[in-house]
Every structure is written in structure tokens, then in C-alpha cells.
Amino acid sequence: MATTEVAAPPRGSRGRGRIGGVAPAFWLFVGPFLAGLVIFVYVPIIWSVILSFSRGQNTVTPGDWVGLDNYIDLLKPGPFLDSLVTFTVFAAFIVPLTFALALGLAMLLNRIRFMRTFFRSVFFLPTACSYVVASLVWKLSIFNGVRFGLANTVLGWFGVDNIAWLATTDPPWYWLVIVTVRLWLQLGFYMILFIAGLQRIPRDLYEAADVDGAGRGWQTFRYITFPQLRPTSVAVLLLLLINAYQAFDEFFNLLGNSSFARPPLVYLYYTAQGNQDYGHGTAGAVILALLIMIVTLAQGRIFGFGRAE
Amino acid sequence: MTATTTPPVAAEEEAPLRPRARPRTPAETLGTSARYLALIIAAGLFLVPFYLIIRNALAADSEITAPGWTLFPSTIHWENFGELFTDPSVNLLQALGNSAIVAISQTVGMLLLCSMAGYGLARIPYRYATPIFYAVLVTLMIPPAVTFIPSFIIVSQLRWVDTYQGIIVPVLFSGFTTFLFRQYFLNFPRSLEEAARLDGLGYFGAFWRIVVPNSGAFFSAIAVITFINNWNQFLWPLIIGQDSSKWTVQVALSTFLTAQTINLHELFLAAAVSIAPLVLVFVLLQRYLVQGVAETGIKG
């Protein structure tokens, strides 16, 4: 068979098997996906850009052009800009907290021998929970604001009065509720990423540091672990930021359409689904998409986008 | 994008990072004890929400709302199960069924579409493969949740609102999953496929008979992660499945939570039932899950 062919064709060139040439094979493999990508990603985005220049009240058919009015409305001081502020505050809490705690847990787990898999499973288990279930527990059992709630029970042991966690804006205790939900749900996931990163650090670096007399503590962390973890840290930071940007579930379930803490997607949800205002809704979606593209590209510019290529 | 597609990490890391031959000093013993103490406290805190779900699910409402903390209901109210599943205002079985239909078909569909597309992009030297790959890459910059209004528009034009296909189909075309499969297939040993080629198999035969059967671990990892994400997704089913007959279990729970039309123990029992399949998947397939997360960095 093959051995009889002295000059075999360059490999990968013609692949003449049961399915003809290269082009039909390629379309067989990629065509269905590509068709879906066009219909459910490209067409909607283009449609939305066009619709964002229309009034779009109660309709998703472009027409009744208003130029840039939708964009101008959104960029005036108002609920949309407030939602970006809410996101910023949220990210300022959740990103550093998750980063530090996930790294801390990963380093702790990396230094122990017994029960390592057990602890890892416990921290990773909340990944199986949805934001809805977690919000339910937080809202009705931990931070329900009445005496039988867990948080108030514990505080009661120390003589602290009931706190209405979600119902008050002064002080804004709802941030504690919102941030801890997400922290609980996502910490294990980022911990796994850090554990994988830590295991990629060549062990002889530590041995060399040992020989050089560096202590096991802060110095090895400062000069070996942290610099070696840089690719993981960058990926984790970007993921945390992008995921916080898309926060919806816990805000929707814990606070609903509250005026004081609506992140961008919650604002867009009530604009489009609630008020049927698709003009402002699509304009908002376009702005959010542009903002996140800028962040992704800037990150790529700085840290080498597509290095894996 | 953020997938650094790193070389596979050994799935388990049972071998400690730095085995110690030296005898332990008192300082090391102290350090180890402090680490375990910190881990035990953290683990305790992490388990509190699960404890609350179970406690409240098996209690009577009077015990949940009683002043003074009851650690666990004095009698376990197993009859809560019967009450939950016969309560006509809840219809949890329908919601669980919807979630199963949605999550299973999304997982199967996404795996099929994205693995084939990824293979085509990685291995078939078609003239326009590169520009097409860039068209896929561009979509990675915009997370799907950000464009839920555009997606809703197309679904409403197709008259797919309140249908299963409306919830299932638009989510299938994940540029990110395709990208991950492409990266994986780029590293798949070519020699195996060449052997298949010599046996007269085309791309299609090589893919299904050689590549897929030898990629079980990777497919499993992506499948587990996709299933969990799809079971837990909320925003998209909330928008598309507006009629209660199409509520997934997340949408149903959220509705009960906001409206508070059912009593507490039923709500917590429903929550427990909704996470039970995932905890099962989690316990059985954690190896794939951890490996998949470590290698790909995907998360819902």
C-alpha cells in the first residue's frame, strides 16, 4: 500500500479519502459552526448597531432614526453611568479580594501533604452551585436582616443589634452581601488556576534559593513565586475583571431593580426587557462591548495577546 | 483569549512540591499546624451555606424562624419532599426537566459543533482557513452576556421566544470552546492521524475513529464544565423562557425567591434538589473538572 508509493504527496495536502477534497471537508467540519456564528453572533451585533441609531421603543425594527441621541442620553449623568460606577466599586472589592485569597489558599494547599485533596474539594465545591441558589441562601438565611438570620444571630452573641443588610444604604451593608456571594462561588475556581500555576514553577529555583540562604517565607515569595506566577496572575486578573463586568445574577436576585446598585447588565435588562426600550438597550450593549474590547486589546498589547498562538 | 493553553498539568498533584528529607524543626511543626488551622477554619466557612441549605430544607418553618439558633431540626421533616413535589404552585419537576433538556442538549451540541470546527481549523489546510479563524477569534473579545439584547432580538425575529430551541441554540456557537478545541487538536500527535490516512480514511473518518476516541479526557473535561455552566446559567433562560412552562430550575428558584410565594423550607429543599445533580457530577468527575479548569481557564 503506502510502501509502494515512492513519492508520497506532501502530507496534509490532498487527503483524498471518503470525503473528497480539502474544501468540502473543511466546510463539513467548520460550516455548521460558522453558520451559527454568523446568525447568532455577527448578525445580532450588526443589527444592534443599526438599531442603536433608531428610537426602538417597543420594536426591534430599525427606523425612526434618531442619530446619536441614544448614545448621548446614556452618556449624560444618569442610570447608565451610575451602573458603570457600580461596576467599578464592585470590581474594586471583588478583584483584589478574590485574587489575594485564591492565591493564599493555593499556597497553603501547596505546602501541606495530608488531606490536600479533601481541602481542595471543599473550596472547589461551591463551583457546583448557581448564583441563584447562593443568592437564595444569602438573602433568606445568612443576611436576611431579621433576628433568626445567621449573621445577625452571630452578631447577637456579641451584643450587636440587628442589621438590615440588604435594605439599607447607610451604611451600604449590601456590598458585604454582594461581594461575599461571589467570593464564595468563585474562589475555588481561581484557586485551581493558581495551584496549576504554582506547579509549573521549576522546583530547582526553590532549591537554588535554599542554597543561597533565602528564607522560606516572604523572600522566596517576592523573588521567585510571584514573578514566576505572572502569566497566571495576569490571566486571573483579566478573568476576574471580565466576569465582574458581566455581573447580573446576584444583583438581580439580591437587590432587583434597586436604584442604588445596578451594574450595567441589570440596567440593560430593565431597559430592554422591562421598558421595551431597545434603542437605549442596544446603544448600551454597544458601549459595553466596545469598553470590554478596549480592555481586552489593551491587555493583549501589554502582556502579549495570543502568545499561545 | 485568556486561555493560556498551557501544557497539561499532571492531573493530580499528590507528590508534595518539596519533599522534606530533613527532620522537622519546631518552627516547621508550628508552621504546619498554623496552615492546617487556617485551612480548617476556611473549610468550615465554605461549608456553612451547604449546611444552611440542608438544615432549612429538612426543618419546619417555625424552626427556621425561631429566635435562638437551632443547630439542626429536632425532628427531620422528610415529608417536606412530598410537600414540595405535590405543591401545585411550584412544579419543580417541570423546571428540573427543562433544565435537564437544556443543559444536556447544549452540552452535546456544543461539543459536537465546536470540536468539529476546532478540528477543521487546526488540521484542514483550506485556503481561507486563516481568515475564518480570525473571524472566530474576534468574537472572543465580547463575552456573550454583554450582547444578550442583540441575541434576544434575533431570537424574537425567529419567533423562538418561549421555545426550547430559543434557549438552547444561540448559546451553542461558542468561539471560545472552538478556540480551545483548535489549540488542543494542534497538539494532537499527527502520526496517529497519518496512520488513519494510510488506511484510506478521510478527515471525517480520521476524526471520528482516531482523534475523538483518543481524546476522551479532554472531551470529558469540556463536557463537565459546559454541563455545569449550562445547568447554572440564569440570564439567558430568564429572558427567553418567560412562560412558566419553559422555566429552568434557576429561573423557577429566582421567581420563588423574589415573589416569596412559597414557604421557606420548600424553597430551600428546591434549592437542595437543584444542586444535587451537580454535586453528583462534581463528586464523580472532579478529576476531569479540575484538570479542565487548570488547563483551559473556562468558567461560566
Q: Both A49 and A104 in a single domain?
A: no
Cell of B300: 461560566
In a domain? residue A97: yes
A19 to chain B, minimum CA–CA distance in Å? 6
Q: Both A94 and A41 in a single domain?
A: no
- Element at B54 (helix H, strand E): helix B26-57
Q: What is the mean pLDDT of residues B145-164?
A: 92
- How far from chain centre, in Å, is Cα A99? 13
Confidence of residue A8 (pLDDT cuts 50, 70, 90): very low
- Does the CB of B262 have a partner CB in chain A at under 8 Å? no
> For B199-227, what is each residue's pLDDT tens digit?
888 899 999 999 999 999 899 999 999 99
Q: Both A188 and A222 in a single domain?
A: yes
Q: Both A63 and A185 in a single domain?
A: no
- Asked if A119's CB is within 8 angstroms of B43's CB, the reply is yes
- Does the CB of B38 have a partner CB in chain A at under 8 Å? yes
> For A16-65, what is each residue's pLDDT tens digit?
444 458 899 999 999 999 999 999 999 999 999 999 999 988 888 888 89
- Asked if A253's CB is within 8 angstroms of B257's CB, the reply is yes
The answer to whether B222 and B185 are in contact (CB under 8 A) is: no
What is the pLDDT at residue B15? 46
Question: Could you tell me how many CB contacts below 8 A there are between chain A and chain B?
Answer: 331
- Asked if B35's CB is within 8 angstroms of A133's CB, the reply is no
Placement of cell 498551557 in the chain: B6
What is the pLDDT at residue B193? 85
Q: Both A47 and A132 in a single domain?
A: no
The answer to whether A147 and B67 are in contact (CB under 8 A) is: yes
> For B226-259, what is each residue's pLDDT tens digit?
999 999 999 999 999 989 899 999 999 999 988 8
In a domain? residue A243: yes
| Packed helices A79-110 and A174-199: angle between N→C axes, nearest 10 degrees | 40
B214 to chain A, minimum CA–CA distance in Å? 18
Residue B300 has pLDDT above 60, yes or no: no
Phi-psi region of A201 (alpha: psi -120 to 50; beta: other; left: phi over 0): beta
- Asked if B282's CB is within 8 angstroms of A308's CB, the reply is no
- Does the CB of B60 have a partner CB in chain A at under 8 Å? no
Distance CA A218, CA A271 (A): 50
Among candidate residues A42, A67, A92, the one where a domain is terminated: A67
In a domain? residue A6: no
Q: Both A55 and A120 in a single domain?
A: no
Residue A304 has pLDDT above 70, yes or no: no
Q: What is the mean pLDDT of residues B175-190?
A: 92
Distance CA B70, CA B63 (A): 7
- Regarding predicted confidence, which is higher, B61 or B45? B45
CA angle A279, A284, A290 (to 5 degrees): 130
Q: Both A183 and A251 in a single domain?
A: yes
In a domain? residue A4: no
Distance CA B135, CA B110 (A): 18
Q: Which residues of B touch A127 (CB under 8 A)?
A: 228, 282, 289, 299
Residue B78 has pLDDT above 80, yes or no: yes
Q: What is the mean pLDDT of residues A99-108?
A: 95
> What's chain A's average pLDDT?
87
CA atoms within 13 A on the CB side of A88: 7
Residue A7: how many other CB atoms lie within 10 Å? 5
Q: What is the mean pLDDT of residues B285-293?
A: 83
Placement of cell 505546602 in the chain: A111
Q: Both A165 and A197 in a single domain?
A: yes
In a domain? residue A1: no
- Does the CB of B94 have a partner CB in chain A at under 8 Å? no
Residue B179 has pLDDT above 90, yes or no: yes
- Does the CB of B255 have a partner CB in chain A at under 8 Å? no
Q: Which of A125, A199, A301 to mutate to test the interface with B (most CBs of B within 10 A)?
A: A125
- Does the CB of B130 have a partner CB in chain A at under 8 Å? no
Q: Total domain count for chain A?
A: 2
Distance CA B114, CA B218 (A): 13
Among candidate residues A35, A67, A99, the one where a domain is terminated: A67
Residue A231 has pLDDT above 80, yes or no: yes
Of A51, A131, A138, Cβ closest to residue B234: A131
Distance CA A121, CA A188 (A): 8
Global confidence as pTM: 0.87
Nearest CA in chain A to B62: A148
Q: Both A24 and A95 in a single domain?
A: no
> For A169-222, what is each residue's pLDDT tens digit?
888 999 999 999 999 999 999 999 999 999 889 988 888 887 877 666 788 888
Cell of B234: 440564569
Confidence of residue B11 (pLDDT cuts 50, 70, 90): very low
Q: Which residues of A touch B41 (CB under 8 A)?
A: none
Q: Which residues of B touch A20 (CB under 8 A)?
A: 202
**Phi and psi, residue B89, nearest 5°:** -85, -5
In a domain? residue A36: yes
Cell of A80: 447608565
pLDDT cut 90: percent of chain A above it: 59
- Does the CB of B185 have a partner CB in chain A at under 8 Å? no
- Does the CB of B189 have a partner CB in chain A at under 8 Å? no
What are the Cα distances from residue A277, in Å, to A57, B7, B162? 5, 47, 20
In a domain? residue A3: no
Helix (H, G, I), strand (E, B) or coil at B14: coil
In a domain? residue A92: yes
Domain with residue A160: its CATH number is 1.10.3720.10
Q: Give which of A284, A283, A282 is closest to A262, Cα–Cα.
A: A284
Residue B287: how many other CB atoms lie within 10 Å? 15
What is the pLDDT at residue A176? 95
- Asked if B1's CB is within 8 angstroms of A296's CB, the reply is yes
What is the pLDDT at residue B23? 57
Among candidate residues A28, A49, A67, the one where a domain is terminated: A67
Cell of B68: 435562638
- Asked if B136's CB is within 8 angstroms of A41's CB, the reply is no
B253 to chain A, minimum CA–CA distance in Å? 7
B167 to chain A, minimum CA–CA distance in Å? 12
Q: What is the mean pLDDT of residues A283-305?
A: 81
- Asked if B228's CB is within 8 angstroms of A123's CB, the reply is no
- Whether the bond into A126 is cis, omega within 30 of 0: no
Beta bridge pairs of residue A57: A277
Distance CA B218, CA B215 (A): 6
Long-range contacts of B24-31 (CB under 8 A, 24+ apart): none
Distance CA B77, CA B89 (A): 20
Q: Both A131 and A31 in a single domain?
A: no
What is the pLDDT at residue A257? 86
Residue A30 lies in domain = 20-67
> For B98-132, what is each residue's pLDDT tens digit?
999 999 999 999 999 999 999 999 999 999 999 99
- Does the CB of B71 have a partner CB in chain A at under 8 Å? no
pLDDT cut 90: percent of chain B above it: 53
- Asked if A245's CB is within 8 angstroms of B143's CB, the reply is yes
Q: What separation, in Å, do the N-terminal and C-terminal C-alpha atoms of chain B show?
A: 15
The answer to whether B87 and A171 are in contact (CB under 8 A) is: no
Q: Both A35 and A176 in a single domain?
A: no
Q: Both A141 and A39 in a single domain?
A: no
Distance CA A205, CA A222 (A): 13
A26 to chain B, minimum CA–CA distance in Å? 6
Q: Which residues of B touch A147 (CB under 8 A)?
A: 67
